[in-house]
Amino acid sequence: MKFFFAVLRKIGYALLLLVAVLVLNFMLIHIAPGDPVDTLVGEMGGASPELIAKLRADYGLDRSLPEQLFTYIVNVAKGNLGMSFTYDQPVISLILDRLPATLLLVLSALVMAVLLGTFLGVVAAQKPRSPFSHFVTILSLAGYSAPVFWTGMMLLILLSYWVPLFPSFGMSDVGARESSMAYAVDVLRHLILPAVTLASIYLAVYSRLARASMMDVLGSDYIRTARSKGLSERVVVYKHALKNALLPVVTMAGLQFSQLIAGAVVVETVFSWPGMGQLAFESILRRDHTLLLGILFFSTVIVVVVNLLTDLTYRLLDPRIK
């Protein structure tokens, strides 16, 4: 029962956070320079004052800022994120069309970074002065210091231009849609370079974090007790030590999920990956305030849900947390 009320309390805090983020994003975007109607009219090649006034009235831009904010909050509460100025389509449909691609990229990069980074860190922690441990340290420093867009461009040059192993842009080829298996293989080929690019910086973080956490756990009293009982090193490391060493890794994965989504904007732009990041980039260039607000709100919802799941996972890994 306490666990149930704890979850309800966290959901209440999450709803308050969503409202606060919604209001803050709305105010920041609307006080920024640039008018979406002017941008739209410029792309049309000009328009009469009557048409400009009609467009501003249709999109509610002729009202005061408090009125626009109140109307927007009410519409969001009803599940209506508004209409896109650029595409003249509901924002929610545009986001849902791009959401699967972004989730595929972000989750693939997260799983790759957590699993491979944890494995490298755990192996390096068992022999902290070995050449392999020094290699993991150098790899971590290189991955963490390299900008994501630079890593992406280098991978494109090396593995798409010089050695054409992987496609250079997009999510799939047109001809691959003839069968489901061929389409899945083609998407996987397109996914590898963007996912590796996005995972590179976080792989460094998790490997260093797992290494430090595992070294700390391996020096604990209960680990010495387990070894004194004659248990094998594999059982000591992977059955007794790993579970506790994973706690900071799980926490960091939940906290950095928002950074992964932010990094996806750059990666999707470099690789022309058709996700929410590329859609957000286009909405910024075209001053599509409604679409950008919808993407920011949707991203916030995803991050909040992931953080809630992280808390629940933390409770499962550490029974001491009530």
Distance CA 19, CA 21 (A): 5
DSSP state of 89: S
What DSSP string describes 162-221? IS--S-SSSS--GGGGGSHHHHHHHHHHHHHHHHHHHHHHHHHHHHHHHHHHHHHHHTSH
Backbone angles phi, psi at 90, to 5 degrees: -60, 135
Q: Name which of 248, 270, 251 is nearest 105 in CA terms.
A: 270
What are 83's strand-pairing partners? Answer: 90
DSSP state of 90: B
Helix, strand, coil share (%) of the chain residues, nearest 5: 80, 0, 20
Tens of pLDDT, residue by residue, the chain (322 residues): 666 676 777 778 878 888 888 888 888 877 776 666 666 666 666 667 777 777 677 666 777 778 888 888 888 888 888 888 778 788 888 888 888 888 898 888 888 888 888 888 878 877 777 787 777 778 777 777 778 888 888 888 888 888 888 887 777 776 656 567 777 788 888 888 898 888 887 887 888 888 878 878 777 777 777 777 777 777 777 776 777 777 777 777 777 776 777 778 888 888 888 888 888 888 887 778 888 888 888 888 887 887 777 777 766 666 655 5
Q: How far is CA 49 from the centre of its chain?
A: 42
* Residue linked to tokens 């991203």: 299
The hierarchical CATH code for the domain 100-317 is: 1.10.3720.10
Backbone angles phi, psi at 115, to 5 degrees: -65, -50
Counts for the chain of helices (H) and strands (E), in that order: 14, 0
Backbone angles phi, psi at 148, to 5 degrees: -65, -40
Distance CA 125, CA 120 (A): 9
Other C-beta atoms closer than 10 Å to the C-beta of 306 total 20
Q: Name which of 231, 293, 262 is nearest 21 in CA terms.
A: 293
Which one-letter amino acid corresponds to residue 322? K
Q: Name which of 243, 271, 246 is nearest 109 in CA terms.
A: 271
- Residue 305: enclosing H or E segment and its boundaries? helix 289-317
In the chain, what are the domain boundaries? 2-77, 100-317
